[in-house]
Amino acid sequence: MRRLLLIGALAVTATVWAAVGHSQEPSTGEQNPQPPAPRSFMNMTPEQRAALTRSFLGLAPPPDKAMVARGAPLFERNCAFCHGPHARGAEGPDLITSDEVLTDSRGEKLVPFLKVGRPAKGMPSFATMTDQQLTDIAEFLHQQVEDVANRGTYHLLNIVVGDPAKGRAYVNAHCMQCHAPQTFAHIAGKYRTPDRLQRGWIWPERYGYPSRAVTAVVTLPDGGAIRGTVMQVSDFRITLVDSAGQTHTIVRGPRVSVRMTDPLAAHEAILLHVRNDDMHNVTAYLETLK
């Protein structure tokens, strides 16, 4: 919470920096020459401004984008049901203001916490997930905090660093078997900012789009079948909502078979395998399609 209260201090940061810049001026003839300090906040590169704001606000290191990208679908599948799609809270608490999250760095506290959970209070244990998966989820949570808390730096960082021509070639080779040109016609306008565009094309939002929901057919020991949208699934049970809106929770015994269909399966593959330069090139290309 303390950190959130410091937010919006960009203007203060500018003043602080101006003062620091001043006090360093007399020491220019020093033995150990420092790189020349930028004159004012406004003349800094966006990256310098971001770093300064970050250290002034006492924020943790910037979230690792690749880990965040991997953590997003894991969060969606395992946590969003209770904590809301953006971790802002639902049945379970808001995680953006949670001390467990704010005092964590790269999962060192969250991973052990998630392995145990607080089952007595409704927070399950995630003992079967790997440390890497849980660390990716932790990083996704840090990105959510970042999006809310460090808005000043967030939109200044330029992620449009790729080559649009290469991005176009990549899209033609990898995306057009599923997408018509209309999908991309005004895509940059739809997502508004490059960071949303990048997240949106790598991992399209599922929440609010029934056509993107995971569905399953569960075959029961008596041969009957139940189909529906998957609400929750674990190694032990699956909860479905059928087309009549009725909820079914089925224990996954030895003679119960579950066949799931994920319309975004291709995007899960993109998410896990896309290379950084392809990612930047595609975003740069899509960003030209206003």
Residue 281: CB minimum distance to ligand HEC, A: 10
Residue 46 or 122 with smaller CB distance to ligand HEC: 122
Nearest to 186 by CA among 281, 288, 284, 280: 288
> In the complex, which residues of this chain contact ligand HEC (CB under 6 A)?
78-79, 81-83, 92-93, 95, 98-101, 114, 118, 121-124, 126, 137, 171, 174-175, 177-179, 183, 187, 200-201, 204, 209, 211-212, 263-264, 266-267, 270, 282
Residue 172 · residue 240 · CB < 8 Å: no
Residue 179 or 259 with smaller CB distance to ligand HEC: 179
Q: How far apart are CA 92 and CA 77, in angstroms?
A: 15
Residue 239: CB minimum distance to ligand HEC, A: 11
Q: How far apart are CA 28 and CA 20, in angstroms?
A: 13
Residue 51: CB minimum distance to ligand HEC, A: 27
Rounded to a whole number, what is the largest CA-CA distance in the chain? 87
Q: What number of other Cβ atoms are within 10 A of residue 273's Cβ?
A: 8
Residue 145 or 187 with smaller CB distance to ligand HEC: 187
Q: How far apart are CA 284 and CA 152, in angstroms?
A: 22
Residue 113: CB minimum distance to ligand HEC, A: 6
Residue 219: CB minimum distance to ligand HEC, A: 25
Residue 228: CB minimum distance to ligand HEC, A: 18
Hunting for tokens 């220019």 — which residue is that?
28
Q: How far apart are CA 97 and CA 99, in angstroms?
A: 6
Burial of 285 per CB tally in 10 Å (0-12, 13-18, 19+): buried
Residue 59 or 187 with smaller CB distance to ligand HEC: 187
Which of left, alpha, beta for 284 (phi over 0: left; psi -120 to 50: alpha)?
Answer: alpha
Q: How far apart are CA 121 and CA 123, in angstroms?
A: 6
